[in-house]
Amino acid sequence: MKLNLRINPEASTGEKCETCGKPLTPENLYTRRIGGQVHYFCCSHCADAFQKDQHCC
């Protein structure tokens, strides 16, 4: 099951997208829970790419 969340736009992590490195802003902050941990991305496409790379074997 995929969990796609947009968090409070007023919140900002000061972090970068875990896939492409784009700075995260309140306008592009996208999160997804993968393997029990919340990961931060700039869009769903980066989240999909990150999750695809997390599969082993």
Q: pLDDT per residue over 3-54, tens digit each?
A: 555 555 444 456 899 999 999 998 899 999 988 999 999 999 999 999 988 7
Measure CA 9 to chain center. 14
The model's pTM:
0.68
Do residues 16 and 48 touch, judged by C-beta distance below 8 A? no
CA dihedral 3→20→11→44, nearest 10 degrees, is: -30
Q: What is the count of structural domains for the chain?
A: 1
pLDDT of residue 10: 46
CA distances from 22 to 1, 35, 41, 49 (A): 26, 23, 8, 14
Q: Which domain holds residue 42?
A: 4-53
